[in-house]
């Protein structure tokens, strides 16, 4: 994708395929998390000489994430397929919290009283699709910013 219009079309396509349903709490409840990832790359060529020597490529990844709200099954009256969707939504959110807690514990081992010096903190990225897809953005050499809107 190279243009803003192509990006808008992809976002609209994703929005159109996103599942929503009516629950006892919300007439238009989102039934999944959504991730829109932009990968930006920059390749520069050296100005000196006709050889067009390429300098190191810079790559950035921006993930726009819309998390579905947690589901209180008793309040929403979810059964069948809606109940399975609610379980997956809650699993993703719970795992995201566990991943963030593990990353904090890993960066400051003294904070975690339960972890001994011999114990390595395991970050449970694989426990949910949400955290697996956001692995690069959450850990490693990444800067993460969060903007939260609650309604």
Domains of the chain, residue spans: 4-138
Biggest CA pair distance of the chain: 70
Q: What is the pLDDT of residue 126?
A: 94
Tokens found for residue 138:
């959450």
The segments of the chain whose pLDDT lies below 70 read: 1, 20-29, 46-54, 71, 76, 109-118, 150-151
pLDDT at 87: 83
* Six token digits for residue 15: 């929005």
pLDDT at 43: 79
Are 137 and 63 in contact, with CB atoms under 8 Å apart? yes
SS3 42: strand
CA dist., res. 114 & res. 124, Å (int): 17
User: Residue 36 in contact with residue 13, Cβ under 8 Å?
Assistant: no
């Amino acid at each position: 994708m190279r243009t803003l219009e192509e990006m808008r079309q992809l976002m609209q396509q994703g929005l159109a395929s996103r599942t929503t349903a009516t629950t006892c709490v919300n007439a238009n409840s989102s039934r999944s998390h959504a991730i829109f990832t932009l990968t930006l790359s920059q390749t520069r060529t050296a100005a000196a000489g006709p050889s067009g020597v390429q300098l190191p490529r810079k790559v950035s990844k921006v993930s726009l994430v819309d998390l579905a709200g947690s589901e209180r099954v008793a309040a929403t009256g979810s059964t069948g397929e809606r109940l399975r969707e609610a379980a997956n939504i809650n699993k993703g959110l719970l795992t995201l919290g566990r991943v963030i807690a593990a990353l904090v514990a890993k960066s400051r081992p003294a904070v975690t009283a339960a972890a001994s010096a011999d114990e390595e903190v395991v970050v449970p990225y694989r426990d949910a699709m949400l955290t697996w897809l956001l692995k690069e953005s959450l850990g490693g050499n990444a800067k993460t910013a969060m903007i939260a809107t609650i309604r």
